[in-house]
Chain A
Amino acid sequence: QSVLTQPPSATATPGQRVTISCSGSSSNIGSNAVNWYQHLPGAAPRLLIYNTDRRPSGVPARFSGSKSGTSASLAVSGLKSEDEADYYCATWDDDLHGVLFGGGTQLTVL
């Protein structure tokens, strides 16, 4: 069981907007930046969002991140079939002195 809690799955249709949540505590999300990763089958993971709401070069503006208190969210708008992947949140934990990943959310685009 992950310290960072994500819904195991999410489903949406092309063109829709979907939000994936990540719930933590004061020692992790509450006091540190949150990052989001996309992991497509058979590929290496990809950094989507860093420092809670910043996008690396090359990541479309359809992807956005936010945080409130001890929870964070990844929003994907204008869904495309190629967005079907596993999505992970990650952050530093001050008590565990290490990086934590959420359990991952499998996004299905119908």
Chain B
Amino acid sequence: QVQLVQSGPEVKKPGAAVRVSCKASGNTLAKFYIHWVRRAPGQGLEWMATINPTGSYTRYAQKFQGRVTVTRDMSASTIYMDLSSLRSDDTAVYYCVKELNEFSSSFYFDSWGQGTLVTVSS
């Protein structure tokens, strides 16, 4: 069973940036696309970004273009999601998610990390 373990909760001020990490078990990152999805309080799920197994390809939701960057450190089996220029409405639980099938980007969000709460408040 693939495990995705995310970093702990963060509290940030408006305008700041946050980095959320997602460590994968086994050889997951070498075979699977990884996605980032968030859920704000009282809101629904929202797709943010996707990165391929080699880290050579990323795709970002239009809403987050220019503010979000996803990278990977293969030696550490870790994916990072950086979100800048934070606003209060970025307060949400952020999830890293593994694609269902190997080497496929069908956006079937299969295994989810435990979630990281990011609170943006002055």
Q: What residues of B have a CB within 8 angstroms of the CB of A98 in the complex?
A: 47, 59, 61-62
Residues facing A in B87-122 (CB within 8 A) are 95, 100, 106-110, 112-115
Which B10-47 residues have a C-beta within 8 angstroms of A? 37, 39, 44-47
- Interchain residue pairs A-B with the least CB separation, the first 10: A44-B112, A99-B47, A50-B108, A104-B44, A101-B45, A98-B61, A99-B107, A103-B44, A88-B45, A47-B110
Per a CB cutoff under 8 Å, which of B39, B62, B100, B115 touches A47?
Answer: B100
- Which B residues lie within 8 Å of A35 (CB)? 107-109
Cα distance, A45 to B39, chains bound together (Å): 10
Is A12 engaged at the interface, CB distance under 8 Å to the other chain? no
Please indicate the chain B residues that have their CB under 8 angstroms from the CB of A102 in the complex.
44
| Most chain B CB inside 10 Å of its own CB: which residue of A98, A103, A104 | A98
Chain B proximity of A3: nearest CB distance (Å): 12
8 CB < 8 A contacts A-B = A2-B44, A35-B108, A45-B45, A50-B100, A56-B100, A90-B45, A97-B59, A99-B107
